[in-house]
Amino acid sequence: MNLYELTIAEAAKLLAEKKITSVELTQAILDRIEKVDEKIKAYICVTKDKALEQAKESDKRRAAGKSLGKLDGIPIAIKDLLCTKGVETTAASNILKGFVPCYNATVVQKLEDAGAVILGKANLDAFAHGSSTENSDFFTTKNPWDTTRVPGGSSGGSAAAVAADLCLGAIGTDTGGSIRQPASLCGVVGLKPTFGRVSRYGVIAMASSLDVIGPIAKTAEDAAIMMEVIAGRDRLDSTTLIDKVPEYSSEIGKEIKGLKVGVPKEYFVVSSSGVRTSTTHTYSGMDEDVEKAIKSAIEKLKSLGAEIIEISLPHADYGMAVYYILQPAEVSSNLSRYDGIKYGFSISASSHQLPACLPAGKASSLREVYTKSRGKGFGAEAKRRIMLGTYVLSAGYYDAYYKKAMQLRTLVKKDFEDAFEKVDVIVTPVSPTPAFKIGEKSDDPVQMYLSDVYTVPINPAGVPAVSVPAGFATRDGKKLPVGMQVIGPQLSEGRILNVAHQFEKAININNVKPSL
Amino acid sequence: MMLTREEVLQIAKLASLELADDEVEKFRQQLSDVLELFKKIDDVDLKNIEETSQVTGLENVMREDEVLPSECSREELLENAPRKNENSIIVPKVIEDKQ
């Protein structure tokens, strides 16, 4: 077996038994990146020397009997939305090209404190705005299962890196599906934790009432191991929860016999004649292969002893509208900090400081520094969202859009609370379709937004959800992964990871890998 | 719901974004399409429904007001500024000269 194919749990065991070293493991991954990432383009930058240095330190600690735990010596990729001290952090945007933070995001610091080896920065849709990485201002990441297709997004670089064995695990962020959807499209596990469970300090903000940070991994167990390290209260992020962080990896391994699994009737619309119809536009787009895979996944859960219960999320259909009002509103506010003055691209900088793709210009006033730096520095999707958010927050429209969305959010959240009175977890698809072709939706924001229909209502409700591989759809003779979403009440990460783990063991498709 | 060109330019102004001419028309179309998606929120009766802004119910998180050293020095922080002069960031003049 190649070292790069190991899971975190397997590698941690071999490291502990001194059968491999972190330097060997890290070198194997770096060689793999060298060989394969040309095709996948998962990384914006690979910090090779630093990674090998960290691996060496890890081996020294272990030799001295001072190992820091399961992540000590494990190579991890970081979405380029998290600040890394001394390493360029771009959010995959031209406006932040060249930005080098002088501090680590809390999550990066916690990983380093646990001995993890940081491999580099993974590609994303600029500022995490998107579902395909096509909105990256630099390049599009390819899906390892079919390189003519998108890996999903926005954490597409992270998910593709995990799927292509270019790291053992990765960090992603999720505002409306940005961990779960790429995990689903790339056939790996992605956990969106409870709002406030993981610190956002040092993470470039998108929509502050929705953003969460979480792991993308090869297995549910690996995601649990990473969560144990990154979760917890942080004095630098006042939205973090004070609740004690459980040992997630010991919460998995329980039988799911008697577990009550809810299936929302709004998502699967089947007429009495057995013909699939849809009463609403929003859910009419579920691909037949996705539906088949999820239905057979539900049967599998049943065979493991789970009780399947039909539930209703009456406001699910409004989740999209709520999300696409609140999110751009918060984006427009968070992105107002990019002004061409303090850091990032500026029209007023001298030309030698500018990236080649952005021409120098002239600004005659402070206001022009703002408007021109932002006009040139932001890509199309960032501009769309800033403008949409500015519109829904502007005088005369606040009550019509923003206030109503905040009220509807209460109802969306209550739907989940009511459902969790009756069931332990809820199961849905992650994405209505398998990975789509590069370019297929890139100039149609509405179609692109609809690819998040099953993931976006989760964020306004603040509950955790995990995406776990459930099967495949075949397109053009290629296998494309289909993911199942397991949703739980707030702070039930251990429970949903356990369901994902039990399911994974039962369907046993982890060994099916993309051929590269 | 179809935005006008003037509305798009007004939004851009509020957002401090300079748009190229072709962008104005493209965004007019695309933003109008997205606003169309929002229409359905008017179907719901929202009378007496509270707004939710903080989803986990945390409020007024307090801590001691302690002075702690910054992880970054002034020099490091200024490192990323596009135009600087020793310890300052250079910006265009914002006060008009009196004639």
What digits encode the pLDDT tens for the residues A385-399?
999 999 999 988 999
CB A433 within 8 A of CB A132: no
Structure tokens at A404: 């109503």
Reported confidence tier of residue A191, pLDDT bands at 50, 70, 90 = very high
Closest CA to A102 of B71, B14, B46: B71
A371: which chain B residues are within 8 Å (Cβ-Cβ)? 16-18
Q: Which two tokens stand for residue A323?
A: 């999300």
Give the number of C-alpha atoms closer than 13 A to the C-alpha of residue A421, restricted to the C-beta side: 7
What is the C-alpha to C-alpha distance for residues A65 and A193, in angstroms, rounded to an integer?
33
State the smallest CA–CA distance between residue B13 and chain A in angstroms: 8
Interchain proximity B41–A445, CB inside 8 Å: no
Q: Two tokens at B32?
A: 């109008």
Q: What stretches of A335-403 show up as alpha helix (H) in DSSP?
A: 366-377, 380-393
A271, part of any domain: no
- Report the share of chain A in percent with pLDDT over 70: 95
Residue A277 pLDDT greater than 80, yes or no = no
Residue A274 confidence class, pLDDT cut points 50, 70, 90: very low
Q: Can you list the alpha helix ranges (DSSP code H) found in chain B?
A: 5-14, 21-38, 74-78
Nearest to A155 by CA among A97, A82, A105: A82
pLDDT value of residue B95: 81
Of A372, A387, A407, the CB nearest to B11: A387
Asked whether residue A345 is domain-assigned, the answer is no
Average pLDDT over residues A126-151: 97
The answer as to whether A105 is a domain residue is yes
Q: ipTM score here?
A: 0.94
- The Cα A197–Cα A214 span in angstroms is 9
Among the listed ranges A228-232, A277-281, A301-305, B80-84, which one has the minimum average pLDDT value? A277-281
Residues of A with a known catalytic role: 79, 154, 178
Q: Which of A344, A390, A490 sits opposite B11 (nearest CB)?
A: A390
Do the domain assignments include residue A72? Answer: yes
**Least confident stretch, A300-304, A444-448, A450-454, A483-487:** A444-448
- Portion of chain A with pLDDT greater than 90, in percent: 87
Chain A residue at shortest CA distance from B45: A408
Count of the separate structural domains present in chain A: 1
Instruction: Select the residue of A375, A378, A388 nearest B34 (Cβ to Cβ).
Output: A388
Nearest C-alpha in A relative to B3: A391
Domain encompassing residue A220: 3-250
Distance between CA atoms of residues B39 and B63, nearest Å: 42
Query: Six-digit token pair at A179?
Result: 């961990």
Residue A274 belongs to a domain:
no
Q: Which residues of B touch A103 (CB under 8 A)?
A: 71-72
- β-sheet with A169-174: strand ranges across: A43-46, A117-122, A75-79, A169-174, A212-217, A189-192, A465-475, A478-487, A425-429, A260-264, A307-311
A355: which chain B residues are within 8 Å (Cβ-Cβ)?
none
CATH classification at residue A230: 3.90.1300.10
Backbone phi, psi, residue A498, to 5° = -65, -45
Which residue of chain A has the CA closest to B58?
A239
* H or E segment and range at residue A51: helix A48-63
- Contact A235/B15, CB-based, under 8 Å? no
Q: How confident is the model at residue A11 (pLDDT cuts 50, 70, 90)?
A: very high
DSSP letters for A281-345: STTTT--HHHHHHHHHHHHHHHHTTPEEEEE--TTGGGHHHHHHHHHHHHHHHHGGG--SSSSS-
A241 to B58: CB separation less than 8 angstroms, yes or no: yes
Query: What tens digit of pLDDT does each residue of A461-471 get?
Result: 999 999 999 99
Which B residues, 56 through 95, put their C-beta within 8 Å of a C-beta on chain A? 56, 58, 61, 63, 71-73, 76-77, 79-83, 89, 91-94
User: Which among A158, A167, A254 has a CA at the least distance from the CA of A214?
Assistant: A158
Which residues on neighbouring strands pair with residue A48, listed in sequence order?
none
Q: Residue A508 to residues A148, A468, A500: CA-CA distances in angstroms?
A: 27, 12, 12
Q: Architecture of B5-42 per CATH?
A: Orthogonal Bundle (1.10)
Q: Are strands A465-475 and A478-487 parallel, antiparallel or unpaired?
A: antiparallel
Instruction: Tally the C-alpha atoms within 13 A of residue A513's C-alpha that lie toward its C-beta.
Output: 13
For the packed helices A106-113 and A220-230, what is the interaxial angle rounded to 10 degrees?
100
Q: In this structure, are strands A260-264 and A43-46 parallel, antiparallel, or unpaired? A: unpaired
List Cβ neighbours of A40 (8 Å cut-off, separation of 6 or more). Answer: A141, A142, A144, A147, A160, A161, A164, A166, A516
Domain borders along chain B are 5-42
Chain segment A204-218, per-residue pLDDT in tens: 999 999 999 999 999
- If DSSP codes are grouped into helix, strand and coil, which group holds residue A7? coil
The residue among A391, A392, A447 with the most chain B CBs within 10 A of its CB, best to mutate, is A391
Q: What is the pLDDT of residue A355?
A: 63
Q: Give tens-digit pLDDT for A71-96.
A: 999 999 999 999 999 999 999 999 99
- Averaged over A404-428, what is the pLDDT? 97
Assign A358 a pLDDT band (cuts: 50, 70, 90): low
**What pLDDT does residue A281 have?**
46
Residues of chain B neighbouring A332 (CB-CB closer than 8 A): 15
Q: Answer yes or no: is A135 within a domain.
A: yes
In a domain, A515, yes or no: no
Q: Which amino acid is at A400?
A: A
State the average pLDDT for chain A: 93
- Cross-chain CB nearest to A413 (options B33, B36, B55): B55
Can you give the pLDDT at residue A351? 59
What's the pTM value of the predicted model, to 2 decimals?
0.95
For residues A433 and A441, give the distance between their C-alpha atoms in angstroms, rounded to a whole number.
Answer: 13
Q: Is residue A124 part of a domain?
A: yes
Per-residue pLDDT in tens (0 to 9) along chain B, 99 residues = 789 999 999 999 999 999 999 999 999 999 999 998 888 899 999 999 999 989 998 988 888 899 999 989 999 999 999 988 888 998 888 887 776
Question: Span A350-369, mean pLDDT?
Answer: 72
